[in-house]
Structure 1
């Protein structure tokens, strides 16, 4: 087996417009023997294995993204098919890549909060006598270090699809199951039990001046918001995978994981790419309420509040009136344009203009206007821009 932890961007062969990168194009043309791109080199190594009697293998993506095995397969298949079209490999190689009895691409769900290397952890290591623990910050603002600071809690669920056998990783905590169950565990985590709570804390952590998620959990109002998002609004419509109890999972998230002071994670990091996260982290729950005969979407309070909080976040001004740097987001310029003329203290807003944003299913997962949630979101947004301190005041109203 080969495992991958290369971040979601590592699998991408194209730019934001869907065009192949120059190195990718050159690899398509030059063939596997001189491949230079990352995925190109992986595909070239697989071609070597194909030539060695088509030996079976499992390519296991362990990156935190839905259906990660399919994403990896698509990237490898793209190279194989382009090489075939250019006469650089045989059709049998493409067939080998597509044969799950020869090459498998299992889905997996991994859950372990691993923030970037932190100076407080480095200081602890120095005190204990460790050497060379200084970390480096690259030009792209990524961090590299000789140590990793991560939480003790960890889940790794992998589809049991290994055509050449596998190590007994289940003896050290890895859960092997079928693809359907892997998908259910991932859905439980991403749409209900962790990621929505994380995003809620990220948005309001930035607005209320926090620099640590663990410090936010000391604030009883923010802790109640986390609990309301998870227990009250998410849990009733959760996808139960059967192998992990959803309520116990949330218990661990709000009681152990997020309050952990030794996990120096920041709301600013979690707030990155929020426009790409809202549809999955909140839109799916809204859809579940819409499709339910038991629950009414009009009963939701915390989720509309978080969405209103994101609009408030787009102003780039915290609850004390201080300007802050918004986290990177591929749609930041576009979405910020909807609030560019809004100031703290405004008594009226252009609801029609903001309604156009709230209708965007690519951001929210649903048309918030069509499902009659837009007015509630805009009412809460108006409350949060009324004055300095209004964010905390509105938060108190929602959770108490």
Structure 2
């Protein structure tokens, strides 16, 4: 059996027989070169990093475009490093799942070092040296949108952030605090330049990244825990930049069936598991074939030649247009729509959801009819073709074991971008009318129907209990919706009163929906969906048939 930690170059024939592409560069030489002169550090050691960033670093190494790899840091769940990296010599298998059922497997070894930021202070000490090195050019992140939260809706520091505000760099535990502390090291080493590149999946991510890093620094400065010049350094665009990005690759949690197929090929390291922190990991990362990464080309310390690995380097307006296209119209809203209905209708995978003719009609209308009219063409690829690939190729891929439950996580945090921006564009546009929106209010109604229940549980369309995905506002929203009956006795007038406060919440929808024609449509759809078992499917079918 083959092991990732083996001397792979002494087993080339065996790996090739297993269908695994091996790196062509000298792994040890790469690690030594990176230790001397690091260029790229990434925060967030989960599966998206393994699907996009590390393979890009590998492609640059394989082509000879660089001799240095990528270093990865994990703060949210340090056990990822201990359990998914260290035992396998910081290597893993990238498994591309194709629509025809085949797999393309590569052994990725581009990770030059892995740093768990937990109780052991040594990794952070080692990172301080990395950030003091003039060779460092960029820091990327995949810490999810929640990782950027510092305060609650009332402006109060979150419970785990407050000690970092008060204690300064020495108390840094979260990703944002750790990054800010390491930037302080770089400032103290001579105010060296650096690009901080968020690759988290939300609009204008670079701007948000810059805001929260500067906010953390300001809290330290006003408490005398950092000098005023540090704040000036973070605002100097010749020194520190926060480029905008758009990143896209569907990356489900590791699938056990993929592990079984790898094991059948003679690969021993093929068991998915949960880390001590609860993260789904494996010695492999399964993902789709299609991917996009668009980056604003603003790097004051230089950068690796990312374009040689397929990355689109562009100006800010182009990146923003590409991001808006993906996040607000051509992918993410479709994903959420399918996931919400998928949980209600009992579909186990995303590919099964879009195989439902009514759900395909829903996302077709959502994308082509309601979304494309407000899309700005980024110019580097066609929004219409991007949308076609999503609906016809990417989501239907039966090889991708993606689930509605994964996509439904944190939906209350996603709706402002995935639907709220389109709604606001319709409100502002002289030639568009919110009264013409049908798919969006149907999806919002379905989301509210899914949340009806208590204690994190709901009821699907067949009357079966369903465990709802984590969401920071789940408890609050369920408390409002809990008394809505699902047995057919729901009356629109009563329901309208019940959900009025939710529809008025601009933090969810970006606007007060009660002041738009959408409120009545949502209330009508939701009332119809609460008329007993099968009501969700019949409401969806009636709407889809009218399109």
TM-score (normalizing by structure 1): 0.92
Q: Distance in 1 between matches of 2:215 and 2:542?
A: 52
Measure, in 2, the Cα distance between the counterparts of 1:284 and 1:77: 26
Q: SS in structure 2 opposite 1:324?
A: strand
Q: 1:343 aligns with which of 462, 465, 486?
A: 486
Question: 1:117: Cα distance to partner?
Answer: 1.3
Determine the structure 1 residue equivalent to 2:287. 150
The Cα of 1:299 is off from its aligned counterpart by: 1.9
SS in 2 for 1:149: strand
1:19 aligns with 2:162: no
Map of 1:199 onto structure 2:
336
Corresponding residue of 1:394:
539
Deviates more, 1:189-198 or 1:41-50: 41-50
The answer as to whether partners of 1:24 and 1:40 remain within 8 angstroms in 2 is no
Contact 2:427 2:433 in 1 (8 A): yes
- Deviation of 1:336 after TM superposition, in Å, equals 1.9
Corresponding residue for 2:252? 115
Q: Which residue is 1:282 aligned to?
A: 419
| SS of alignment partner, residue 9 of structure 1 | helix
Q: In the TM superposition, what are the counterparts of 1:315-330 in structure 2 within 5 Å? A: 315=452, 316-330=458-472
Does residue 1:367 correspond to 2:492, yes or no? no
Matched, 1:166 2:303: yes
Q: Distance in 1 between matches of 2:413 and 2:276?
A: 24
Structure 1 alignment gaps of length 5 or more? none
Q: After superposition, where does 1:190-269 map in structure 2 within 5 Å?
A: 190-269=327-406
Shift of 1:24: 6.0
Contact 2:321 2:377 in 1 (8 A): yes
Distance 1:104 1:117, change over 3 A: same
> Is 1:353 paired with 2:491?
no
Measure, in 2, the Cα distance between the counterparts of 1:304 and 1:26. 41
Do 2:193 and 2:240's aligned partners in 1 also have CA atoms closer than 8 Å?
yes
Distance 1:90 1:274 in 2: 39
Query: Comparing both structures, which one devotes a greater share of its residues to strand?
Result: 2
Structure-2 change in CA distance of 1:29 and 1:335 (3 Å) = closer
Question: Closer, same or farther in 2 for the Cα pair 1:133/1:372, shift >3 Å?
Answer: same
Q: Work out the CA distance in 2 between the residues paired with 1:163 and 1:381.
A: 51
Normalised TM-score (structure 2): 0.68
Provide the C-alpha distance between the structure 1 equivalents of 2:436 and 2:402, rounded to a whole number of angstroms.
Answer: 32
Query: Over the residues paired in the alignment, what is the CA RMSD in angstroms?
Result: 2.3
Contact 1:24/1:37 (CA < 8 Å) preserved in 2? Answer: no
Q: Deviations over 1:89-144 (max 9, x none)?
A: 44333322221111212111111111111111111211122222222224654212
Q: Which segments of 5 or more consecutive residues in structure 2 lack a partner in the other structure?
A: 1-137, 453-457
Cross-structure match for 1:382: 527
Q: Which stretch of the first structure deviates more once superposed, 73-82 or 97-106?
A: 73-82
Query: Residues 3-152 of structure 1: matches in 2 within 5 Å?
Result: 3-14=140-151, 18-19=156-157, 21=159, 25=163, 29=167, 31=169, 37-138=174-275, 141-152=278-289
The separation in 1 between residues aligned to 2:359 and 2:168, in whole angstroms, is: 55
Change in Cα spacing, 1:395 to 1:12, as seen in structure 2 (3 Å) is closer
Deviation at 1:248, TM superposition (A): 0.8
Instruction: Show CA shifts across 1:288-342 (max 9, x none).
Output: 2222332322222211111111122122211111111111222222222333221
Counterpart contact for 1:27–1:37, Cα < 8 Å = no
Call closer, same or farther: CA 1:59–1:339 in 2, change over 3 Å.
closer
Instruction: Tell me the distance in 2 between the aligned counterparts of 1:331 and 1:13.
Output: 16
CA contact (8 A) 2:202 2:327 kept: no
Distance 1:382 1:15 in 2: 32
Q: Which moved more, 1:108-117 or 1:85-94?
A: 85-94
Q: 1:44 to 1:139 in 2, by over 3 A?
A: closer
1:37 Cα shift?
Answer: 4.9
Q: 1:312 & 1:353 partners in 2: Cα distance?
A: 13
Of 154-163 and 174-183, the range deviating more from structure 2: 174-183
